[in-house]
Structures are given as C-alpha cells and as structure tokens.
Amino acid sequence: MNPIIPMLVIVPLASAFLIMVLGKLIRDLPGYFTSAVFLVLLITSYYAWMHNGNGITVYKVGGWEAVNKIPIGIYMVLDGLSVIMLCLISTLGFLSAVYSLSYMKRYTGEEYYYALLCLLVAGMNGVVLSGDLFNIFVFLEISVIASYALVAFGVEKNELEASFKYQVLGGIASLLILFGIGLIYWKAKTLNIADIREAFKAGYDGTYYTFVQMLILCGFGVKAAIMPFHAWLPDAHSSAPSPISAMLSGVFIKAVGIYVILRLFFSMFVISEQIAFVITALGTLSMVFGVFLAIGQWDIKRLLAYHSISQMGYVIMSAGIGMILLSRGTRPDVALLAITGGLYHLINHAAFKGLLFLNAGALEYRLGTRDLKEMGGLASEMPITAGTSFVASMSISGIPPFNGFFSKLIIVIACIRGRFYLLAFLAILVSIITLASFLKFQRYAFYNKTNAGKDLTGKEVATPMVFSMIVLGMLCLLMSLLAIPSVRESLLKPAVDVLMDAGNCMSKIIGM
C-alpha cells in the first residue's frame, strides 16, 4: 500500500515533463499518453479506496521516523477523506483528458496543454495527500499556477483578462495563506498537521489563534470561492477551455479549497462554536447569492460557474452545521448526517458540474458561441448532449431519482433535525431557483426553436467527447445509490469518520 502514495503525485508530475519532451517529437502522443496516465491513476486510486477501508496509511518521505513521537520527516497521509478526493480527481481528470482528445484539436500547442493538465492533477493529488502545511502550500501553488496558465490557454482578450484577475486575487490568497502558515509555525514550532493539533491543544493565545484561523479561512476561501472571495471564479471558469472548466469547477475548488478548509478546521484547529457559525454563515451566503447571480446569466459557462459557488455553499453550510453541533457536543447523530450530506453533495457536484461543463463545451464546440440567446432547438441535432445535460440539470436541481436530490435531501433533513429551520428553508429556496435557471438553460439551448436554420451547424460531437459525457451521466444516476444506507455506510463512512473523530485520527498519525 505505502508505495502507491507517492506514486500518485510523482507519476503525473513526471509525465508532465515527459510530455513536454516527447510531444515535440510525436504529434498525437500527448493526448493519448495523458489519458493513459490518468487511467492508471484512476485504477490506482480506486484500488486504494477499496483497500484502505477505515484505516490511515502514512508514507514518510525518505524514511525519517518520528523521534520521541515528534514527526520530523515529510508525511503523506492517505485516509478516508483524501482517498475519496483522489478518486474524484482521477475520475474527472481521466474523463476530461479523453474529452480533450477531440476538443483540443482547435488549439495549438497541445503538448503544453496536456503538460499543464498533468501538473494540475499532480498538484491536487499532492494537496490531498500532504500531511503537513508546508507541502500543502507547495502543491497548492503548483496546481494553482498550472490553472492560471490553463485559464489563459485561449490567449485572447477575455481569457487573458480573466487569467490576470485570477492571478492577482489568487496571489493575495496565497499571501494570506503563507502568512497564516508562518504565524502557526512561529507558535507551534512544527508544520505537521497532527503535531500542530497537539501543540495547540497544550495551550494557546486566544486572539492570536483566531487571527490565524481567519487568515487561513480567507486564504482558502478565495481558492474555494466562498461568497465575498468568489469574484475571480465566474471569469476564470468560463474562459478556460471546457474540459479545464470541468476540472476547475468539478474538483479544483474542492481539492485546494474545501478539502483543505475541512481538513484544517476539523483536524488541525480545535472547533469552536463561533468559527463554526462563521463558516455556516459564509456557506449560506454563497449558497443564496450565488444562485441569484446565476439565474440572470445568458452565457452558459458563467451560469454554470455561479452555480458552482452556490453548490459549494451547500457543502460548506452543511459542514458548518456539523461543526456547530460537534462543538456543542449535543447531537452527534445529526452532525454525522450533516457532514455526510455535505460530502455526498461534494461528490455529486463533481459528477454533475463536470458533466454540465462538458455539455457546454460540446455546444461551444459545435456552435462557436456560449450565448444562450443564440441557441435553440438542438435537442434533435445533438441528442446525447441534450440527454446528458438534462440528467445533469435535474441532478443539480435536486429532482429525483438523480443523485443531487438525495444529497440535498440529507442536508435538508440534517438542517431540520438540528433545528436550523431557516437554513433548511433557504436550501430549498435555492434549490428551486437552481431548477428554474437550469430549465432556462435546457429551454434555450435545446428546445424553443427561435433561431432554427440560422447558423446552427449542430450535429453530435465526436466519440471521445460523447464517451466522457455518457460516463458522467451514468455516474449521476449511479451515485444516487449512495443514498442507500448500507452502501453509504461502506463508502462514505470512512471519510466522515475522519472529520467526526479528528482527534483520534490525528493521534494515530503521530503514533505511526
């Protein structure tokens, strides 16, 4: 088991450089090579998921063992939560790479694209696997810089502007994070997450501690596009090539944003009720305003991007509710439900939002526009795009029997059982507006034949793109099976346990 862990980072990192070299020699190689690499990653991470179970596996880089129970080496930690993130990253990475095989034909410099994609994945895998703050920061920067370049990949006015904004705001965020990490290191004298927890437990200065928490929350809040820090996302996600948008919205903001927030605030800091309230409030804010921003959009990818903010709001809100209840220590069963709901929604979101961006890409590929007003009546010309996007739309709007329904259901039930009636109401309201805006998308893109015959060259897109869309569509349906308790128990429970029982998990890591 152990040697798998570094391989998950090393393989994509190495192939990024390999592609740069080989891509110059053989023209068609990079795409197929990347897809093959990601397929390997996919199989490996599912293997890890199946075999890891409830356990925690630690890989110590260079074999440095802990001295007096104080870890001194670099730790890479594979536990229930990170393994799920790995699976998400590699699944969506693989499908995006396959999709790119035909989608990226229009662009020049394919080898750069695939190399950057590999870097992106390597960075995300690194963030998810790192057991200490410094490596999280390093891998975060690797993937973020790759994403700056990928957003600008079209090198036209809009792309460059979006990428520039993204770089400036992302730079501010990195600064805040680095500042926070520095302050933590100053007090705790260590960067290992498990060790920091021990250090803080021993005693800390309240104001200082809060200040650090806020810095970290803001920094990663920008990466996760939580509401007041979200401004870069709509531009960046809509300007990137569509498979990259799918990666960015589907896994990137989760892996480098939400995952880290969850990990740090559940496992590293001691949960206080106040901070839990702040996190819940931020989540609710993005959930509600994101959707109001989304419904007014006519650019498909901007609409989807704003929905990413809103859907991430659900995840953060329910995780926040879980934190509130945990810090009160009154209703652990409801906290469990809330966190499960949040994680479940996170996984679902990867599937349906990834799919939606791929659909948008297919439309853009065929029609050369992202404006809903210029489309119409495509259901008969592009049946698979229409069908899969219907599945994804129903899924994100929370209509049974698709997966989004079940995760929202769990979140709402958790809200009500935890007596957060207002939040439950807002969650439903947002879900309704989401439905409305996706029906708008459906209607103007696929029905409503106003522009028929004008400049629609619509026919179904090439096989690799169709393949990716169908797989994701199937996933949207299949993942509703996770709602069945016995399935959920075996697949999601390990991840939830990591968050519910953070103290225990962390001391285990130190003990290894």
Using CB under 8 A as the binding criterion, the count of chain residues that bind other proteins stands at: 73
CA distances from 491 to 252, 405, 411 (A): 22, 18, 18
Closest approach, Cβ 440 to other proteins, in A, equals 7
d(CA 222, CA 231): 9
Q: Which is nearer to other proteins, 75 or 344 (CB)?
A: 344
Positions 232 through 291 that interact with other proteins (CB under 8 A): 232, 234-235, 274-275, 278, 289
Could you tell me if 496 and 336 are in contact, meaning their C-beta atoms sit under 8 angstroms apart?
yes
d(CA 95, CA 391): 17
Q: Which is nearer to other proteins, 19 or 294 (CB)?
A: 294
Q: Which is nearer to other proteins, 90 or 397 (CB)?
A: 397
Q: Which is nearer to other proteins, 143 or 480 (CB)?
A: 480
Positions 97 through 136 that interact with other proteins (CB under 8 A): none
Contacting other proteins (CB under 8 A), which of 176, 177, 367, 502? 176
The one-letter amino acid code at 72 reads I
d(CA 170, CA 440): 32
Cα three-residue angle 317-318-323, rounded to 5 degrees: 95
Q: Which is nearer to other proteins, 210 or 369 (CB)?
A: 210
Could you tell me if 308 and 225 are in contact, meaning their C-beta atoms sit under 8 angstroms apart?
yes
Q: Which of 81, 88, 42 is nearest to 493 (CA)?
A: 81
Q: Which is nearer to other proteins, 4 or 413 (CB)?
A: 413
d(CA 383, CA 405): 24
d(CA 511, CA 66): 8
Q: Which is nearer to other proteins, 149 or 409 (CB)?
A: 409
Which of these segments, 3-11, 92-100, 111-119, 166-174, binds other proteins (CB under 8 A)?
A: 166-174
132 strand-pairing partners: 192
Does 440 interact with other proteins (rule: CB under 8 A)? yes
Which of these segments, 6-14, 129-137, 253-261, 432-440, binds other proteins (CB under 8 A)?
A: 432-440
Q: Which is nearer to other proteins, 234 or 342 (CB)?
A: 234
Which of these segments, 4-12, 110-118, 428-436, 459-467, binds other proteins (CB under 8 A)?
A: 428-436
Could you tell me if 466 and 460 are in contact, meaning their C-beta atoms sit under 8 angstroms apart?
yes
Q: Which is nearer to other proteins, 105 or 443 (CB)?
A: 443
Contacting other proteins (CB under 8 A), which of 37, 128, 173, 276? 173
Helix (H) or strand (E) holding 74: strand 74-78
Positions 445 through 484 that interact with other proteins (CB under 8 A): 447-450, 483-484
Positions 401 through 420 that interact with other proteins (CB under 8 A): 401, 405-406, 408-410, 412-413, 415-417
Q: Which is nearer to other proteins, 218 or 315 (CB)?
A: 218
Please report the DSSP string for 96-138 in residue order. HHHHHHHHGGGSS-HHHHHHHHHHHHHHHHHHHHB-BHHHHHH
The one-letter amino acid code at 134 reads F
Could you tell me if 2 and 62 are in contact, meaning their C-beta atoms sit under 8 angstroms apart?
no
Q: Which is nearer to other proteins, 139 or 306 (CB)?
A: 306
Which of these segments, 102-110, 132-140, 163-171, 197-205, binds other proteins (CB under 8 A)?
A: 163-171
Does 168 interact with other proteins (rule: CB under 8 A)? yes
Positions 296 through 335 that interact with other proteins (CB under 8 A): 296
Closest approach, Cβ 511 to other proteins, in A, equals 32
Could you tell me if 306 and 445 are in contact, meaning their C-beta atoms sit under 8 angstroms apart?
no
Closest approach, Cβ 281 to other proteins, in A, equals 9
Q: 67 Cβ partners below 8 Å, 6+ apart?
A: none
Does 182 interact with other proteins (rule: CB under 8 A)? no
Which of these segments, 88-96, 169-177, 236-244, 459-467, binds other proteins (CB under 8 A)?
A: 169-177
Which of these segments, 130-138, 141-149, 365-373, 436-444, binds other proteins (CB under 8 A)?
A: 436-444
Contacting other proteins (CB under 8 A), which of 399, 474, 510, 512? 399
**First CA to last CA distance, the chain:** 15
Phi-psi region of 272 (alpha: psi -120 to 50; beta: other; left: phi over 0): beta
367: number of Cβ within 10 Å: 18
Positions 359 through 398 that interact with other proteins (CB under 8 A): 377, 379-380, 394, 397-398
Closest approach, Cβ 145 to other proteins, in A, equals 19
